[in-house]
Amino acid sequence: MDTEGEALADVAYGLFEVFLNKELRKQGNTLFGLVENNIEFSAAFADIFASFSTDYPFLADALTDEYGSVDAIYHLITEGEGIIPTKTTKIFWILIDAPGYDTGCADSEKAGKWLIFLEPNQTDIIWKKIRDATAAGELGISAKVSTTKENTESRDERMVIYVHTPDWEDEEDVMHIREVLRNLGVTDRIGYKRNIETFQGEYSEKGKKVTYYTA
């Protein structure tokens, strides 16, 4: 497949994984739970892909053109694509939302996030702890982690985990989440950035910091 086709397949894959996660949650499952517990779900996967094909035929065709078959896509996911950060090469971010929230909440102007920069050999285990705590409603409103997909716009060679909170002005909540992160193994000093600075395109540079809290 040419470069343009590969790019389309990667976009299609990212959208399909969002679709897959949503449909599995309706069934009382999580994608990461099924994969990490080695639970076979190929029949449910095929049904969900068929629904995706009905709703988004162009994207489904891009996926089967790239990977060859639905079974091949299923195998890719069961090997950790979209679940384990260091094994994910098709999408830039893996996301998890807390119960009762959706990704849009994390993008509001009032929200912000703790930034956790990690070396690749540290990322998978810390992400798993943060992901599970978020899914259980014990952390922030959502979290996401960068992957090994090449990103020419990345400002840091390390991987990064964002842990989002709904209101940067609620210092008690922000610091409570920081303490939970400490208990999960994030013991180094980290920074908290408000979405306001992100929306304004402000990033840390030499001599300039844009984090609102550090702890």
- CA 70, 71, 76, 82: dihedral to nearest 10 degrees? 50
- Do 107 and 186 reside in the same domain of the chain? yes
- Do 191 and 149 reside in the same domain of the chain? yes
Q: What is the CATH number of the domain that holds 142?
A: 3.30.760.10
User: Locate tokens 């908290």: which residue?
Assistant: 192
- Do 69 and 168 reside in the same domain of the chain? no
- Do 99 and 74 reside in the same domain of the chain? no
Domain end (from 83, 101, 136): 83
Does 38 reside within a domain? yes
Does 116 reside within a domain? yes
How many domains does the chain contain in total? 2
- Do 209 and 128 reside in the same domain of the chain? yes
- Do 50 and 117 reside in the same domain of the chain? no
Q: Which residues pair with 145 in a beta bridge?
A: 94, 161
Per-residue model confidence (pLDDT) at position 201: 60
Of 177, 188, 174, 31, nearest to 122 (Cα)? 188
Where does the pLDDT of residue 206 fall: very low under 50, low under 70, confident under 90, or very high at 90 and above?
Answer: very low
- Do 158 and 210 reside in the same domain of the chain? yes
Cα-flanking dihedrals φ and ψ of residue 28, to 5°? 85, 20
The answer, yes or no, to whether residue 48 has pLDDT greater than 50, is: yes
* CA gap 21, 142 in Å, rounded: 15
- Do 58 and 156 reside in the same domain of the chain? no
The answer, yes or no, to whether residue 83 has pLDDT greater than 70, is: yes
Does 135 reside within a domain? yes
Mean pLDDT of the chain: 90
Does 88 reside within a domain? no
- CA 73, 76, 80, 85: dihedral to nearest 10 degrees? -90
Q: pLDDT (tens digit, 9 = 90+) per residue, 130-175?
A: 999 999 999 999 999 999 998 777 667 899 999 999 999 999 999 9
How far CA 63 is from CA of 22, 28, 46, 47, 177, in Å, comes to 18, 26, 13, 15, 38
Does 47 reside within a domain? yes
- Do 41 and 98 reside in the same domain of the chain? no
- Do 132 and 71 reside in the same domain of the chain? no
Does 142 reside within a domain? yes
Domain end (from 83, 114, 133): 83
Cα-flanking dihedrals φ and ψ of residue 183, to 5°? -70, -20
Domain end (from 52, 83, 114): 83
Does 117 reside within a domain? yes
Q: What is the pTM of this model?
A: 0.89
- Do 172 and 203 reside in the same domain of the chain? yes
- For the residues 183-204, what does the mean pLDDT come to? 83
For 119, the domain range is 93-214
* CA gap 59, 126 in Å, rounded: 32
Q: pLDDT (tens digit, 9 = 90+) per residue, 15-44?
A: 999 999 999 999 999 999 999 999 999 999
* CA gap 94, 34 in Å, rounded: 16
* CA gap 88, 77 in Å, rounded: 9
* CA gap 98, 49 in Å, rounded: 25
